[in-house]
């Protein structure tokens, strides 16, 4: 069980770092691709498909295995899964921003990336605080 927790935490850190770095790469890659023709896959597409997405899948698979093996289904877990689902939606939105940045007339890509980065950081902070606190059922009555 300890190795599964280690795998989950390591893949979560990798996923979070990859998403944050990706959102810093996209605006720079967008301005560079407008100046030169793009040959093959760009760095941000490789970063998204080869690092961020597999790390996200590993995080979700190991987290699912942890609560399936442990059998501990508390109320805070439902809230955590809701936050993780929001993080997955942000991950998909980052992929869409990569595609949007490759358009010839892409506007405001830096602002969109900054907004998404702030949402991702807020979600990650919320997930970490929720897991560390593990509130009781009574404290989550507003959610459940």
Structural domain boundaries of the chain? 2-140
Least confident of 4-18, 54-68, 76-90, 122-136: 122-136
**Residue 41 carries which DSSP code?**
S
Phi-psi region of 136 (alpha: psi -120 to 50; beta: other; left: phi over 0): beta
> How would residue 134 be classed by pLDDT, with cut points 50, 70 and 90?
confident
Is residue 117 classed as helix, strand or coil in its secondary structure? helix
Average pLDDT, the chain: 87
Q: How far apart are CA 116 and CA 86, in angstroms?
A: 11
Angle at the Cα of 85 (from 48 to 13), degrees rounded to 5? 50
Centroid of chain to Cα 59: 10
> How would residue 104 be classed by pLDDT, with cut points 50, 70 and 90?
confident
Q: How far apart are CA 53 and CA 46, in angstroms?
A: 10
Q: What are phi and psi of 75, to 5 degrees?
A: -65, -30
Q: What is the pLDDT of residue 42?
A: 83
Residue 45 · residue 134 · CB < 8 Å? no
Q: How far apart are CA 34 and CA 134, in angstroms?
A: 47
Q: What is the pLDDT averaged over residues 32-40?
A: 54
- Residues 6-31 pLDDT 10s: 999 999 999 999 999 999 999 887 66
Q: How far apart are CA 40 and CA 114, in angstroms?
A: 26
Q: How far apart are CA 110 and CA 101, in angstroms?
A: 10
Pull the structure tokens for residue 129. 């605080």
Between 99 and 29, residue with greater pLDDT: 99
Q: What is the pLDDT of residue 73?
A: 75
Residue 137, pLDDT above cutoff 80: no
Residue 37, pLDDT above cutoff 70: no
């Amino acid at each position: 069980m300890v190795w599964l927790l280690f795998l989950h935490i390591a893949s979560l850190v990798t996923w979070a770092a990859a998403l944050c770095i990706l959102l810093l790469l996209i605006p720079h890659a967008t301005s560079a691709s407008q100046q030169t023709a793009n040959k093959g896959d760009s760095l941000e597409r490789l970063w998204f498909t080869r690092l961020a997405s597999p790390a996200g899948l590993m995080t979700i698979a190991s987290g699912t295995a942890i609560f399936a093996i442990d059998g501990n289904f508390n109320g805070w877990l439902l809230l955590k899964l809701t936050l993780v689902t929001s993080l997955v939606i942000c991950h998909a939105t980052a992929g869409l921003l990569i595609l949007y940045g490759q358009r010839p007339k892409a506007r405001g890509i830096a602002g969109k990336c900054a907004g998404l980065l702030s949402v991702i950081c807020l979600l990650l902070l919320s997930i970490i605080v929720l897991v560390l606190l593990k509130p009781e059922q009574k404290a989550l009555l507003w959610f459940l």
